[in-house]
Amino acid sequence: MGAPVRRKYVQQQTALALLAAAALSGCALGPDFKRPEVPAAAGNSYTATALPAQTASAAGVTGGAAQQFVAGQELPALWWQLFGSPALDELVRAALAGNPSMAAAEASLRQAQESYKAQAGSLNYPSVNGQLGVAREKQPASSGNGAGVFTLYNASVAVAYTPDVFGASRRTLEGAQAQIDYQRFQVEATYLALSANVVTTAIRSASLQAQLKATQEVQDALARQLAVIEKQFELGAIPRTTLLSQRNQLAQVRASVPPLEKALAQSRHQLSVLAGRLPGEGGLPEFTLESLTLPQQLPVSLPSALVRQRPDIRASEELLHAASAAIGVATAAQYPQLTLSGSYGSSAQSFGKLFDAQTTAWSLASNLTAPIFNGGALSAKKRAAEAAYDGAAAQYRATVLAAFQDVADSLRALDSDAAALKAQAEADALAAEALALATQQYKLGGISYLALLDAQRSYQQAHVALVQAQSARYADTAALFQALGGGWWNRNDGAAAASTVSAAPVYGSSGR
């Protein structure tokens, strides 16, 4: 058989092998992934008992407005702007731009994307390697080739390709794509957590400011009362025990100021760090409850939409997807693997004779490797992958349950804390009225000092509790927006990410 005939024969056989590999590569072993269904019990309500259409209101009190629950209304992407504070909006944007956790999450996403490209390049395409070498050799006289020293030049190109006959490569890339989507939702989860932390920390800072102000007001009132009592003591109108009791009451109130100042400073430090600054840099805005507007319209997503909106649920779903793909990889490993290879090169004793007809050499080969006995290792790896999938499925269900609990807790907190603020506002007003009356009666000698002291303590406790109840409503609102997913799907880049993921094929289920 002449060289041209042999070359044509080899080309025909290679083409047939490639066609056979392509025909076989249509199947992918293992289960096809299907997104988990929305919990059937979700219905149209997050809570066992229906919530009222709106919360209670406390007229004339900061943060006391009634809030309406609007089912099915979309949550804006920049949800923190609903609090009506330009300073808060600026600080959240600064945190999203400068916080290291956002940079780390985005870097992890880029890493996953590049890892996918690396795997796709090695699995989808043949590997082509070139080699060029030169060697100085001396053959022994016994070799029969004649003794002497000579130079040998080598040049060759080698090609190898492993057809994806049973879908191992496709399942590997499917798992790598799931890791990309997981990291994408991790970015969204970091975005949501960071913005929510800035808002809640700003609210806590405003609450501590208000508590400190309320405590200082009580302290000033007690100091004025102490000045009166000291004059009465100097005139011999009251015993020393009354003077000491008033001083003790004032000292206790003063002792509560440093812890509030410490907590306020720490909240400011936390805001600096969240914004990506050192605590000593300063330049942060001051937040007060009066500078924040309590949103009166509360968008509440339908329960059936929550699983597509919470980034932690979507991330957990992608881990489940990756675990499903890993079963396919482990299943394909139990089947034969076909490798096609070829090379073309030349070897000559002078560089100018490389690739002459007398010095060229080529080869075409196919190799089929099939597992025969491995001590049950491959079967065990498949069972391990199935167990990992079951674990990921359980973790997904736990994430969904926790998400629904977050929303239910936030809704109930909004309703309950609105009622609590209304009651606390009434208690504060009554305590202030009772203290004013007790002070007047004490001056006229109508009540004992102990009765006045009780009125002072009641007012102090009611006044600080009122501030805490006010801040709770702001914090509850932020918690609800976070629990609902933060509206990232309505953001331009977030919507693009969501559409990319949603456009991915939804695989039908099949047996393992």
For position 144, what pLDDT does the model report? 60
Q: Are residues 203 and 278 in the same domain?
A: yes
Which residue type is seen at 63?
G
Quick check: 410 and 480 in contact, CB under 8 A? yes
Q: Are residues 317 and 422 in the same domain?
A: yes
Q: Are residues 192 and 247 in the same domain?
A: yes
Q: What is the distance between the alpha carbons of residues 508 and 512, in angstroms, rounded to a whole number?
A: 12
Contacts of 301 (CB under 8 A, 6+ apart): 72, 74, 75, 309, 484, 485
Q: What is the distance between the alpha carbons of residues 44 and 136, in angstroms, rounded to a whole number?
A: 82
Q: Are residues 244 and 312 in the same domain?
A: yes
Of 138, 123, 118, give the one whose Cα is nearest residue 169.
123
Distance from CA of residue 304 to its chain's centroid? 21
In a domain, 72, yes or no: yes
- To the nearest 10 degrees (0 to 180), the angle between helices 311-332 and 168-234 is 150
Of 118, 178, 131, give the one whose Cα is nearest residue 157.
131
Q: Are residues 93 and 198 in the same domain?
A: yes
Q: What's the CATH number where 357 sits? A: 2.20.200.10
For position 510, what pLDDT does the model report? 37
Q: Which residues pair with residue 159 across a beta bridge?
A: 128, 342
Q: What's the CATH number where 378 sits? A: 1.20.1600.10
Quick check: 69 and 51 in contact, CB under 8 A? yes
For position 496, what pLDDT does the model report? 42
In a domain, 47, yes or no: no
Per DSSP bridges, beta strands 297-300 and 127-139 are unpaired
In a domain, 507, yes or no: no
User: Which pair of structure tokens corresponds to residue 405?
Assistant: 């609990």
- Please name the helix (run of DSSP H) or strand (run of DSSP E) that holds residue 360, with its range, or none: strand 360-369
Tokens 């675990």 -> residue: 323
In a domain, 375, yes or no: yes
Quick check: 375 and 14 in contact, CB under 8 A? no
Quick check: 325 and 373 in contact, CB under 8 A? no
For position 99, what pLDDT does the model report? 94
Q: Are residues 343 and 460 in the same domain?
A: no
Could you count the other beta carbons within 10 Å of the beta carbon of residue 97? 11
**Domain extent for 227:** 31-41+55-125+164-294+306-335+371-502
For position 499, what pLDDT does the model report? 39
- Please name the helix (run of DSSP H) or strand (run of DSSP E) that holds residue 33, with its range, or none: none
- The total number of structural domains that make up the chain: 2
Distances (CA, A) of 92 to 88, 197, 468, 486: 6, 9, 23, 13
Q: What is the distance between the alpha carbons of residues 190 and 110, in angstroms, rounded to a whole number?
A: 15
Could you count the other beta carbons within 10 Å of the beta carbon of residue 155? 19
Q: Output the tens digit of pLDDT for each of the chain's 512 residues.
A: 444 544 454 444 444 444 444 444 557 788 889 988 887 766 678 888 888 889 999 888 888 899 999 988 899 999 999 999 999 999 999 999 999 999 999 999 999 999 999 998 888 888 889 898 888 887 776 656 555 787 888 888 999 988 888 888 899 999 999 999 999 999 999 999 999 999 999 999 999 998 898 888 888 888 888 888 888 888 888 888 888 888 898 899 899 999 999 999 999 999 999 999 999 887 889 999 999 999 999 999 888 899 999 999 999 999 999 999 999 999 998 999 988 998 988 888 888 787 787 888 888 998 988 898 888 999 999 999 999 999 999 999 999 999 999 999 999 999 999 999 999 999 999 999 999 998 899 888 888 777 887 888 888 888 889 989 999 999 999 999 999 999 999 988 643 444 343 333 333 333 34
Q: Are residues 113 and 5 in the same domain?
A: no
Tell me the backbone φ, ψ of residue 47, rounded to 5 degrees: -120, 155
Q: Which residues pair with residue 362 across a beta bridge?
A: 344
Give residue 85's region: left, alpha or beta (phi > 0; psi -120 to 50): beta
